[in-house]
Amino acid sequence: MFKYTQYNDKRGETCQWPSHMRLSRIVIMVLVILILTPLFTHFYLSNIERNVGSITHDSHSHADLPDEFNGMSDSDLRVSVEELLRIKGSVLSELRDMEFKRQKLLAEIQSYMKSIEELKQELAHQQTNLNKLKISVEQAQVAQREALEQNTPDLAPPKRLIPQEVMEELKVPSKKQSRICRMFSCFDHSRCSLTSGFPVYLYEPDKFTILHKGWDVDGFLKTTLKQALGYNPHLTNDPKEACIYLVLIGEALRNMEDVNSNLTNQFPSINSTALRKLKYWGGDGRNHVLLNLSRRDLTVKTGDIFQTLDTGRAIIVQSTFTYESYRPGFDLIVTPVLGPPGGDVWQECSSMIPARRKYLLSFQGEMKSVNNEPIKRSELDAFILEHLRKLLQTGTSDKFLFEFECSLANDDNGNMGAQDWALCGTDSSRKAILKESTFALIFAPNSEFISTSLLQARLYEALRSGAVPVILGGDQIRLAYHEVIQWRRVAIFLPRTRITELHFLLRTIPDEDVLLMRRQCRLVWEKYVASVQSTLDTVIAVLRDRLNIPPLPADTVTASSVFNETFQPLYVTTMGEGEQEESLGPIEPPYDSPSYRRNFSLILTQGHELWNDWGDPFRLYPALPSDPWLPSDAKFLGSGRGFRPIGQGQGGAGKEFSEALGGNSPREQFTVLLLTYEREQVLLDSIARLRGLPYLHSVVVVWNSPRLPSAELKWPDIGAPVHVVNAARNSLNNRFLPLDNLKTEAILSVDDDAHLRHDEILFGFRVWREHRDRIVGFPGRYHAWDINTQNSWLYNSNYSCELSMVLTGAAFLHRHYLHLYWKWLPQAIRDKVDEYMNCEDIAMNFLVSHITRQPPVKVTSRWTFRCLGCPQSLSEDDTHFQERHKCINFFSQVFGYTPLLNTQYRADSILFKTRIPHDKQKCFKFI
């Protein structure tokens, strides 16, 4: 620290001079003396030299000599001159010494001036650090005060209640009592506590058979369901702790060896005695779920195989129900399992564009009845068929395709068990027609049935092909999972008597709503009905949702360190290049984002969004980008814990702005996620630049190289934890691994060669906090239409007043999207990323835009991203751009459309200006 010297000013008040100012005054006085002394000396010696010169010019002329030399002889005069010359040499020697000293003093003065400047910079740096420490101390005091004011410790979860015994034997209810079962009267809730995890037990189909001799469960269903259930996290092998018990009925088929036996004609195929003797039936079958998932036989003949059976208090899950047999809120309507066992089902989908297809409405089917008896159509049925035939001759440009009679060659379903519309043609032929249809007409079954397998199968086909279902008689039926899925966002329900409104209604729906409904069709198909795996997962999720039990947490990837347990990496303290000489915020210890705060309230407050928007009802996530915000009043009245309003709520300029995070969310930090491959020094330099960065929680480095880092590397100590994670293989998909050591919602995805200043990072972080569901970053790109081919997209990085992508080489995104990238994004897209070793950033932009239907947000940065000392970048290779062109078009095929949206908006800090080349024009010249 500097010392201060007191002095009195003109007002008589005592003031203080800093010691460095006093030193400056002394140096200036010495400098003035050293400069003036040689000048005076030079002037005096010059006069003497002139006088001596005049004497020696004419030694014989004494008249020109001064008076004191007139009386001197020539020898004395010569001695005097020599003496003067000696004096001159001595003076010149002294002058040279003085000049040397003067140069030395000037060098010292320059050294002192440099030291003064360094001390000034150090003073400013220390003052900045002091301000940061003051802010950090203030924030710590606020956190301590909040903890004391709360005075309520975090509650530990309640003890997990798990039954210790199997089902207790109870009295068998009467058939009348079973027919009126509801969850509150026929389900044992004591076996399904809030924290039980909803364990599910499956009866082994080969060991516990409940079919009559001569019947067996469809082998495909048996094998596939067992395999699919094995992937479900709720499966348990301990029947004592189970909440529900699954009994696979499947689709009963006759054994070939018993085809001639009288037992093959026995109906129903279920042995009621064997059903009641199931090991854990408990007398009344409570908490048992009977799964009748049809696959081949889509008739109603064998659909409701439980109609004449007494199933006790067991829940029935199937596609066919009569109004008499269906128990609302207890039984569950599902679709037939017509899809593959599981896996990537995206390729099954057709394109979502264009909105209007060749046919406005199509239908293929034929009404049949039992044993080909004459069909007795009502007057309403005849009127409906007549009106539909008239639509074929409509005078508009709309095209219809109706087939009400099937040829024998195309009829693959046989006779119907009741008057209903059978399917015409093969699956592939119907699929081809539906892909060319904007809407698909579906007839509801007769009034006896609330649902049939055929109805649900037609719904499945329409959803798969992207044809919006139009259900004639939709007011009398129920669709699969209707208690959780909002089918009115997917299908059009029209009473049979209003058939004359059909054409007018379809023409009033604009393209935007057609695409919105088609998009919702695809969402429902992919998540709930596309495969055996999705069907089984949905059944379990619906039953769990009824009980308000939260799902199990989503899986994460274990972050395995590249260092073993005994190795200690070398750390060195360096001054980060990007460290700012200004106070940008507090330096705090790592603060994890609160996780799993809405476990038990999410399904209550946003259950419909979870099932019908882009939520996930099958898994629980630490936090969602769509989590609601509290109103501004709550920061100060009742719920202000964790908030850091600017100026304590009064607002303020730069000083107050840097002291508090502000915003609409409580305080938080962010994690830097770095992907690197064999550029060790570049990586270390990038990490070193993060030293002193406010709100930095930790740095996670994904080491993508099979060669481990050198043990001699000196890792920079930046004041925050640095985790180096070993990737299983070299893949750009590893950039988005949902690692278990990512403890914050905000993730800053950064290339190892990106050069960002601290103020740029913090500005991007603050902007992301207001757009948590979007990608917020720096390098913007856009997808451009290829005007030459007129049928494809191009990746473009030129200057543009629109953008549609923000590259994840320097961008903030929510941690939730890392889970979706690996769990929900089609495997075909990740495979394409591995094939090209490119395009992972484009894939993430597709994903987020597809979910949010919003463009990314670009924030202001410096003109370019620098990479000092990096080798030739891959992005400068023309092959790189060609691959990215191909990626955009391939991703569009997989998604069925291009989800990227354009934006003309960029988030700028106030007074931040951007340079632009002279040959380019800004979007607006003066702003």
CATH at residue 423: 3.40.50
Distance CA 364, CA 421 (A): 9
Query: Is residue 67 in some structural domain?
Result: no
pLDDT value of position 383: 92
Q: What is the mean pLDDT of residues 757-778?
A: 94
Please indicate, yes or no, whether residues 140 and 206 belong to a single structural domain of this protein: no
pLDDT value of position 372: 52
Is residue 60 pLDDT above 70, yes or no?
A: no
658-694 pLDDT tens trace: 888 988 999 899 999 999 998 899 999 999 999 989 9
Residue range of the domain that includes 36: 4-56+76-150
Query: Is residue 161 in some structural domain?
Result: no
Q: How confident is the model at residue 208 (pLDDT cuts 50, 70, 90)?
A: confident
Residue at token pair 């048992």:
288
Q: What is the mean pLDDT of residues 361-388?
A: 77
Beta strands in 9-100 (DSSP E): 14-18
Is residue 420 pLDDT above 70, yes or no?
A: no
Distance CA 82, CA 85 (A): 5
Query: Is residue 554 in some structural domain?
Result: no
Question: How many structural domains are present in the chain?
Answer: 4
pLDDT value of position 14: 42
pLDDT value of position 575: 59
pLDDT value of position 287: 93
Please indicate, yes or no, whether residues 114 and 181 belong to a single structural domain of this protein: no
Percent of the chain with pLDDT over 70: 81
CB-side neighbour CA atoms (13 Å) of 96: 5
Please indicate, yes or no, whether residues 770 and 843 belong to a single structural domain of this protein: yes
Q: How confident is the model at residue 126 (pLDDT cuts 50, 70, 90)?
A: confident
CB neighbourhood size of 219 (10 A)? 11
- Residue of 174 and 764 predicted with greater confidence: 764
294-340 pLDDT tens trace: 776 555 444 567 877 888 899 999 999 999 899 999 999 999 888 88
Main-chain phi, psi angles of 235, to 5 degrees: -65, 135
Q: What is the mean pLDDT of residues 200-213?
A: 82
Please indicate, yes or no, whether residues 140 and 246 belong to a single structural domain of this protein: no
Beta strands in 286-436 (DSSP E): 288-291, 315-318, 321-322, 332-333, 359-368, 400-403, 420-423
Is residue 908 pLDDT above 70, yes or no?
A: yes
Please indicate, yes or no, whether residues 822 and 766 belong to a single structural domain of this protein: yes
Please indicate, yes or no, whether residues 374 and 310 belong to a single structural domain of this protein: no
Please indicate, yes or no, whether residues 317 and 286 belong to a single structural domain of this protein: yes
Residue at token pair 């829940």:
315
Please indicate, yes or no, whether residues 80 and 185 belong to a single structural domain of this protein: no
Please indicate, yes or no, whether residues 318 and 355 belong to a single structural domain of this protein: no
Please indicate, yes or no, whether residues 371 and 329 belong to a single structural domain of this protein: no
Query: Is residue 36 in some structural domain?
Result: yes
Query: Is residue 536 in some structural domain?
Result: no
- Residue of 421 and 825 predicted with greater confidence: 825
Q: How confident is the model at residue 835 (pLDDT cuts 50, 70, 90)?
A: very high
pTM: 0.82
Please indicate, yes or no, whether residues 902 and 849 belong to a single structural domain of this protein: yes
- Residue of 581 and 198 predicted with greater confidence: 198
Is residue 530 pLDDT above 50, yes or no?
A: yes
Please indicate, yes or no, whether residues 490 and 620 belong to a single structural domain of this protein: no
pLDDT value of position 813: 97
Residue at token pair 């348990």:
236
Report whether the peptide linkage leading into residue 495 is cis, meaning its omega lies within 30 degrees of zero.
Answer: no
How high is the mean pLDDT of the chain?
A: 83
SS3 888: helix
Of 333, 362, 390, the last residue of a domain is: 333
Distance CA 598, CA 611 (A): 16
Distance CA 856, CA 777 (A): 8
384-410 pLDDT tens trace: 999 999 998 887 889 999 988 876 444
pLDDT value of position 174: 77
Is residue 173 pLDDT above 90, yes or no?
A: no
Active site residues: 841
pLDDT value of position 123: 83
Is residue 642 pLDDT above 60, yes or no?
A: yes
Distance CA 147, CA 287 (A): 44
840-863 pLDDT tens trace: 999 999 999 999 999 999 998 765
Burial of 206 (0-12, 13-18, 19+ CB in 10 A): exposed
Q: Which residue type sits at 145?
A: R
